[in-house]
Amino acid sequence: MLPIKRAQQHTWLPTLFNDFWDEGFGKIGNLRSPAINVIESDQDYKVEIAAPGMCKDDFKIRVNEDNHLVIRMDHKKEEKSDRKEEKFIRREFSYTHYEQTLLLPDHIKKDQIEAKMKHGVLKILIPKDLDAPVQEKEVEIKVE
């Protein structure tokens, strides 16, 4: 990789560009996807997503036409001041977007999926349809 020449560095005002290159290509500071747990029991599946600082209004959850559970999170934050005499040298704002898609099995009750937000963890309960036949198929291997 070629060295990047920077005209001027201000350690008192870190930039997204500097953070990107200093931390390594593809990683911007401490941005990461949220931790996710998927737990199966006899009656249901539970999905847990760590989302500290987020609220229920930041999330949209849906089951799409391909039988995927789509979890989308958009969070905007901006510190504002009403004092007009101030001139900002630095103003903190952020936008976080996250989307996770999980393939759902056929034997679930889509109309009974529930979601709850508590202490920075989004919990999604996906009940199983215990009366639905489990569709298995053996695939024949052919010789070419």
pLDDT per residue over 101-140, tens digit each?
Answer: 999 988 899 999 999 999 999 999 999 998 887 777 888 9
Domain assignment present for 61:
yes
Please tell me whether the overall predicted TM-score, pTM, comes out greater than 0.75 for this model: no
Domain assignment present for 69:
yes
Closest of 32, 21, 47 to residue 96, by C-alpha: 32
Domain assignment present for 72:
yes
The domain spanning residue 95 has which CATH number?
2.60.40.790
Segment 45-97, tens digit of pLDDT: 999 999 888 889 999 999 999 999 999 998 887 666 666 667 766 666 777 78
What is the separation, in whole angstroms, between the first and last Cα of the chain? 46
Domain assignment present for 75:
yes
Residue 105 is part of which domain span? 35-127
Domain assignment present for 10:
no
Report the C-alpha gap between 51 and 69 in whole angstroms.
Answer: 17
Domain assignment present for 16:
no
